[in-house]
Structure 1
Amino acid sequence: MAKVFNYISEAFTELKDNVTWSPWSEVQRYTIIVAVFAVLFALATWGVDSAFGEALGVFYNWIKS
């Protein structure tokens, strides 16, 4: 159990003393950029999925006839 506590303690010390953190304004800006691109990518994926679904529906109806 002491090893686990020591590991966690050293991890926090490493994060506090040796990690260079970005300024808060930069983090906010990058978060907004990532969120916008995630929404755009989700919409593009939805659009392609809908188009292929519609195309397959037309194809299957054509085969049925």
Structure 2
Amino acid sequence: MSNIRTYMNDTVEEMKDKVSWPTYSELQNNSVLVLIGSLIFALVVGAMDFGFDTVLTWFYNQF
């Protein structure tokens, strides 16, 4: 049981003293970058899906 208590105390100490937390403006900027990157990735994957669907539909309709 003392091992768990030591682990928890060390974890709390490290989170308070050793972790460098971003400022609120840095957090906002990074969140916007992640949102934009996710949207671009979704558009690329959606375009690829549409393209493959179109090509395969045309291919299967040939037979």
Same fold (TM over 0.5): yes
Q: CA deviation at 1:2?
A: 2.5
Q: Which runs of 5+ in 2 are unaligned?
A: none
Alignment partner, residue 8 of structure 1: 8
Question: Which stretches of structure 1, 4 residues or longer, exceed 3 Å deviation after superposition?
Answer: none
**TM-score (ref. length: structure 1):** 0.84
Q: CA RMSD in A?
A: 1.1
Q: Which SS does the other structure have where 2:25 is aligned?
A: helix
Q: Which runs of 5+ in 1 are unaligned?
A: none
Q: Give runs of aligned pairs for residues 44-63 of structure 1, distance below 5 A.
A: 44-62=44-62
Give the AA of the match of 1:56: L
The count of corresponding residues between Structure 1 and Structure 2 is 63
